[in-house]
Amino acid sequence: MRQSQLFTKTRKEAPADEVSKNAQLLIKGGFIHKEMAGVYSLLPLGFKVINKIKKIVAREMEKLGSQEIIMSTLQARDIWEKTDRWSDEKVDIWFKTELKNGNQIGLGWSHEEPITNMIKDHINSYKDLPVFVHQFQNKLRNESRAKSGVMRCREFIMKDMYSYAISEEQHMDFYDKTIDAYMEVYKKLGLGDITYVTSASGGVFTDKFSHEFQTLCEVGEDIIYVHKEKSVAVNEEIFNEESLNKLGYKAEDFEMKKAAEVGNIFTFGTKKCEEMELFFMDREGKKQPVFLGSYGIGITRLMGVITEIFADDKGMIWPESIAPFKVHLIQLGSVADQATALYEKLIKQGIEVLLDDRDMGAGAKFADADLIGIPYRVLISDKSLEKGGLEFKKRNDTEAKIITESELLTILSK
């Protein structure tokens, strides 16, 4: 796209009341707009990033055999009463409202109850199982304190997935595969080396452990203990002798780190489906409860974590896999025709390119390019053409080099 047509503008200074690095940079670059504390809208650049993260996640979930759906935000009270999670005493982050007719409804903070209720229409027999579904949904949570920019919001996008299995064995097969799929996602996002499968409390659903995916990050809210040799970790909340014994670890093999939770997966067991009355008929014609698992990835938070981890003092540095564009083509001086020709050629090759065709000084364009953080910067100007082509620089390179157009195409087609 042509940058002159991009309706958002960068700004030199972040709003004074935004302290977190991720919010400052995302606002300065024009990726997000703050609506209120803990609530941000996505602008074109941010929307592109989010969509790319979603795409990577979706592909891995589909590989697992999951099918994408989208559930409603408005949720019926009685569904949640079946599992005794409607009450504010039980779940204190509910947003609730009322219909004109007086019926109370909830705004979805999670979806296992409605999805389980929905799926009752489609599951009757062991032959129908297992079923895996996922969605990308806006979750609404009345957090008592939103904080750290997009890291902890009241409204955010989450990928949630649910597995319905006939037995614990069938469930665990999927559960284990999900761990691998999740790690594949983080790898593709450039977080593979600093993200750990972390044993954590199973919450109120199970006496077993759940697993979190924790990315090492200074602004993270969690403390985890990372194994010095194996690539696993244990959440502070269960870092005690009893749990370590169960897991077969020794405390001295771990070191403490700060981390941000970028995903978590739970085994619910059969209890919830019993409460929700989701049963299937087994081979013997006996009614059995379905075995449920729940799997989340915080999409919005990932954008924040990635900003926090990769950005430098000039701006964002997006991993290529989720950058809003692959190439930032900057035209400088009277080279509009050559720039347009190259721009169109790149588009024809299927390369996503942002053409800075604005009438601005070089310094301002470079500063914006650094701020927006597109992985490859290509400069076309009278000077570059004199020197024999284009000036090429990766976002985290310090020096640019002159390359020809065909060299550029080779680099970008990789």
Beta strands in 99-217 (DSSP E): 104-107, 131-140, 155-165, 195-200, 210-216
The one among 146, 183, 316, 322 contacting RNA by CB under 7 A: 146
Question: What is each CA distance from 26 to 11, 42, 130, 154, 220, in whole angstroms?
Answer: 10, 10, 40, 18, 17
The one among 52, 54, 85, 301 contacting RNA by CB under 7 A: 85
Distance CA 114, CA 73 (A): 10
Helix (H) or strand (E) holding 368: helix 362-372
Distance in Å, CB of 124 to RNA, minimum = 27
Q: Is residue 144 a contact point for RNA (CB under 7 A)?
A: yes
Instruction: Tokens for 258, please give them.
Output: 């700060």
Q: Is residue 135 a contact point for RNA (CB under 7 A)?
A: no
Q: Which is nearer to RNA, 65 or 333 (CB)?
A: 333
Q: Segment contacting RNA (CB under 7 A): 5-13, 49-57, 124-132, 177-185?
A: 5-13
Q: Segment contacting RNA (CB under 7 A): 140-148, 181-189, 191-199, 285-293?
A: 140-148
Residue 151 makes CB contacts below 8 A (sequence gap 6+) with: 20, 22, 219, 220, 221, 260, 301, 304, 305, 308
The one among 1, 6, 91, 118 contacting RNA by CB under 7 A: 91
Distance CA 357, CA 359 (A): 7
Q: Segment contacting RNA (CB under 7 A): 190-198, 299-307, 344-352, 361-369?
A: 361-369
Residue 288 burial (10 A CB sphere; 0-12, 13-18, 19+): middle
Residue 322 burial (10 A CB sphere; 0-12, 13-18, 19+): buried
Distance in Å, CB of 229 to RNA, minimum = 28
Cα torsion 154, 292, 180, 308 to 10°: value is 10
Distance in Å, CB of 151 to RNA, minimum = 9
Distance in Å, CB of 127 to RNA, minimum = 30
Q: Is residue 363 a contact point for RNA (CB under 7 A)?
A: yes
Site residues (CB under 7 A) for RNA, limited to 297-336: 314, 332-333
The identity of residue 14, as a single letter, is A
Site residues (CB under 7 A) for RNA, limited to 223-262: none
Distance CA 324, CA 345 (A): 19
The one among 309, 371, 372, 412 contacting RNA by CB under 7 A: 371
Contacts with RNA, residue ranges (CB under 7 A):
9-20, 28, 36-38, 85, 90-93, 110, 143-149, 152, 203-205, 221, 264, 266, 294, 314, 332-333, 359-364, 366-368, 370-371, 379, 381-384, 391, 393, 400
